[in-house]
Amino acid sequence: AQSVTQLDSQVPVFEEAPVELRCNYSSSVSVYLFWYVQYPNQGLQLLLKYLSGSTLVKGINGFEAEFNKSQTSFHLRKPSVHISDTAEYFCAVSVGTASKLTFGTGTRLQVTL
């Protein structure tokens, strides 16, 4: 079975600073990787996904992530954050596009002035 680890439960950062949210996964087979964002009192929405091809994937709102198979990581990055990026971010993995998602425990990004 696959699993996802998000080591940082909270990440405080100042506006316009860069940020990296870490995600590591474990699986004995090839995986598909996702980052979802949850704004306060809302459902989850897809930020970006890696299914195949280029290991650097770009998503909405200026976020990007890099799939690193050797390190089993899929870290999320943004070069300059805004107050509006304050939200909870979830990394998720599936072993096939028709399969269930396994979520990490989430990282709360808190952007302040």
Partner 1 sequence: NAGVTQTPKFQVLKTGQSMTLQCAQDMNHNSMYWYRQDPGMGLRLIYYSASEGTTDKGEVPNGYNVSRLNKREFSLRLESAAPSQTSVYFCASSGGLAGSSGIQYFGAGTRLSVL
Q: Note the residues at the interface with partner 1 (CB under 8 A).
A: 6, 9, 32, 34, 36, 42-46, 49, 51, 90, 94, 96-101, 103-106
CA distance 76 to 21: 5
* Closer CB to partner 1, 64 or 103, in the complex: 103
Q: Are 75 and 22 in contact (CB under 8 A)?
A: yes
Q: How far is the CB of 16 from partner 1 (least distance, A)?
A: 29
Q: How far is the CB of 100 from partner 1 (least distance, A)?
A: 6
Element (H, E) at 68: strand 64-68
CA distance 91 to 99: 15
- Write the DSSP symbol of residue 100: P
* Closer CB to partner 1, 15 or 102, in the complex: 102
Enter the tokens of residue 69.
Answer: 């198979």
Q: How far is the CB of 92 from partner 1 (least distance, A)?
A: 8
Q: How far is the CB of 94 from partner 1 (least distance, A)?
A: 6
